[in-house]
Amino acid sequence: MNVLDWLEQTKKKVSPLEDQLKQFMRLKKIDVYGYPGVFYERVTQLGGALEGITTFQTPGNLLIHFNGNLNYQEHWADYQQILSTFEFVR
Amino acid sequence: MHFSTFNGLPAFSYSIKSQGFEGPLESYSGYKGIYQVAWLFNNKNYLMIAWNETPEINQVIPTFRLSDVSHISQTTNWLTYSNSKYGFNLKYPQGWYVSGEPENTLYLTNYDITKASSGELNNEEYSQSFKIDIFVMRRMKKI
């Protein structure tokens, strides 16, 4: 599945848990190990915590979600650094 | 050019002499003079700082700090997680934990998730806890 198609579909969906459209704060296109993806943040309705999420395609056109949570704000550098080590084994 | 430190951070630095420039539609000469340039390595990015030496700026420059310098760490000593199901590797710091199921959701945590689920984390561990959920969305039918 194309990550941008997924994004457009997901933008239109109402979260059953939160009963509202999903948030995409600070949304930007990125690539992970050369594969297209998107990064965004959202505030959870349950607890109000900030999460950082990266969704990107695999060589087999699956989507991987890389979701940093709990104390994400304090650990955003860890999140980015771990994400930067991601590689597909061909 | 020479390697040096900039406010205690590793950097390389040099001076440039700018002659100014003229714009295509109007004459404009600016940024003339001698500039000091320092390049810093910041979390996989290079940061360039250039300044013209004046008494005021010479007071400002020594106050420059990288706010996230405490987060900068090398990944060379990190451990490697390999997922043969989906064919990927990633690295994570020593002392962190990988749990969950490779076919479904993986949890990468800086705390022992079994302690958390049994309520054994102390307040400090809880306040510092960080978790990354990694999961694969399987193929979906196009609508």
In this prediction, residue B142 carries a pLDDT of: 43
Q: Write down the H helix ranges in B9-141.
A: 55-60, 113-117, 123-128
Would an 8 Å CB–CB cutoff place A47 in contact with chain B? no
Angstrom distance (rounded) from CA B113 to CA A29: 32
Angstrom distance (rounded) from CA A30 to CA A57: 11
In this prediction, residue A80 carries a pLDDT of: 86
In this prediction, residue A44 carries a pLDDT of: 83
Q: Which amino acid is at A46?
A: L
Would an 8 Å CB–CB cutoff place A12 in contact with chain B? no
In this prediction, residue B107 carries a pLDDT of: 95
Q: Give A8 or B10, the one with higher predicted confidence.
A: A8
SS3 B125: helix
In this predicted structure, the answer to whether residue A64 has a pLDDT above a threshold of 50 is: yes
* ipTM here: 0.90
Would an 8 Å CB–CB cutoff place B81 in contact with chain A? no
Q: Give B31 or A7, the one with higher predicted confidence.
A: A7
Would an 8 Å CB–CB cutoff place A58 in contact with chain B? yes
In this prediction, residue B130 carries a pLDDT of: 94
Count CB neighbours of A55 within 10 A: 21
In this prediction, residue B134 carries a pLDDT of: 95
Contact A58 B135 (CB under 8 A): no
Angstrom distance (rounded) from CA B45 to CA B43: 6
pLDDT in tens, B7-55: 666 677 777 777 665 555 444 445 667 778 888 776 667 788 888 878 8
Q: Which of these ranges, A4-18, B46-60, B68-82, has the smallest mean pLDDT?
A: B68-82
Mean pLDDT of chain A: 87
In this prediction, residue B71 carries a pLDDT of: 52
In this predicted structure, the answer to whether residue A29 has a pLDDT above a threshold of 60 is: yes
Mean pLDDT within A7-25: 80
DSSP states along A18-80:
TTEEPP-EEEEEEEETTEEEEEEEEE-TTT--EEEEEEEE-TTS-EEEEEEEESTGGGHHHHH
Banded pLDDT at B135 (limits 50, 70, 90): very high
Distance from CA of A78 to the nearest CA of B (A): 7
Mean pLDDT within A11-38: 82
Distance from CA of B115 to the nearest CA of A (A): 16
pLDDT in tens, B102-130: 888 999 999 998 888 888 888 888 888 99
Query: What is the model's pTM?
Result: 0.66
Count CB neighbours of B25 within 10 A: 6
C-alpha distance from residue A8 to each of A5, A11, A13, B135 (Å): 5, 5, 9, 20
Task: Give contacts of B131 with chain A, Cβ < 8 Å.
Answer: 68-70
Angstrom distance (rounded) from CA B31 to CA A52: 40
In this prediction, residue B91 carries a pLDDT of: 94
Mean pLDDT within A28-48: 86
Would an 8 Å CB–CB cutoff place A35 in contact with chain B? no
Q: Whose structure tokens read 């700026």? A: B57
Nearest C-alpha in B relative to A90? B87
Angstrom distance (rounded) from CA B59 to CA A10: 51
Residue among B72, B82, B137 minimizing CB distance to A62: B137
